[in-house]
A = this chain, B = another copy of it.
Amino acid sequence: MTTLKELAKLLNISVSTVSKALNDSHEISEQTKIRVHELAEKLNYKPNRIAQQLKTNKTKTIGVILPTVTNPFFAEVLHGVETAASKNDYDIIVCLSEETCAKEARSLELLSNGSVDGFIIAVARESQVKQQWDHIDSIIDRKIPVLMFDRVVKDIVCDKVIVDDFQSVYEATKYLIEEEKRKNILLISNIEELSVGKLRIKGYKQAVEENNLTSDVLKLDNVDDVEEALFNYLKKNKDIDAIISNDHITGIVAINMARKLGKEIPKDISVIGFGYENTQIISSPKISIIHQKAFEIGEISIKLLIENLNNEAHELQTIIVPSELKLSGSTKKA
């Protein structure tokens, strides 16, 4: 890599003159500026980013800690994050916690040595279940800005970007009751240990109870159990006339299973799930979804964090990104 020193030597001028010339300082004559720029161009000179970072004590890099990236929600968030970061000339270092507390803590620890200016994080399932977040507090104690999104910890004081988990499921349930006249609505959940899962269940229950209906939650440990569990459940509870799924997979499975059991959709049963880019295309009839604006969540998170990085007087805030109910063939009024 070409350095200032090399340019200086070749041009027989000092390093600082070269530096100033390249930064278009008014102190430098047009003539030398031109000479310097020409040679720099020719040798494809680029200021060494590491040296700049050491000098300015800013990395223009953000650490992004995700539980996983094969879940389309986090993939889309990452897309939004990358887009916004790139626009603002920030790089992102991505770490996956694999839903474990240990890897999450390790990543934070390793990057908190000056590698990044701040962090964006959605906490791992394990951290949330075991309520372990000393590793996150420790970062904040060291005055490194942190922003949490989606899976958020109430007790941690930092910027937060969250989804309207309660509200969106509440509205969806209410819609099924009021508009579609459904009376026996089942909720499928495999994330009830997570804050977001709890909120969704809460939203569902509140809507059901407000209408004096009975609630029922089918809890699953694993996405692979859905078929069997649903089969058994629907066999026993033949009066179920609507299903809400708390994730982007089981709603589609529910549609397939209901059809297999001879139910017509949406005549006999309505289905609403969570969904992303291609969720609707691959189900038949097309599933109605609660569409979380994952891309926007990523974008907003980056913008807010950068604001924090640049503004000494930044005030912490919590932003709620509303979801959108996208009706389709799996509900009556689609």
Instruction: Report the minimal beta-carbon distance from A89 to chain B, rounded to whole angstroms.
Output: 8
Please indicate the chain B residues that have their CB under 8 angstroms from the CB of A223 in the complex.
278, 281
Q: Could you say which residues of chain B place their CB within 8 Å of the CB of A78?
A: 69, 94
Q: Which of A50, A94, A111, A256 has the most chain B CB atoms inside 10 A of its CB?
A: A50
8 Å CB contacts to B: which residues of A38-73? 44, 46-51, 53-54, 59, 61, 68-70, 72
Known: A252-B282, A256-B284, A281-B226. A96 touches B115 (CB 8 A): no
Residues of B within 8 A of A59 (CB): 50
Q: Is the CB of A115 within 8 A of B91?
A: yes
Structural contact, A82 and B96, CB atoms closer than 8 A: yes
Give a binary string over A252-283; 1 marks a CB under 8 Å from any B CB, 0 the rest: 11001101100000000000000011100111
Query: Count of chain A residues with Cβ under 8 Å from any Cβ of B?
Result: 57
Contacting pair B83 A79 (CB below 8 A): no
The reply to whether B96 and A93 form a contact with Cβ atoms under 8 Å apart is: no
Residues of B within 8 A of A115 (CB): 49-50, 91
Contacts of A96 in B (CB 8 A): 79, 82-83, 86
CB of A177 within 8 Å of the partner chain: no
Enumerate chain B residues within 8 angstroms of A51, measured Cβ to Cβ: 54, 114
Cβ-closest 7 pairs across A and B? A256-B284, A46-B113, A252-B282, A48-B114, A94-B94, A49-B113, A49-B115
What are 8 residue pairs bridging A and B, where the CB atoms are less than 8 Å apart in the complex? A44-B142, A46-B113, A50-B53, A50-B114, A69-B78, A92-B93, A256-B282, A256-B284
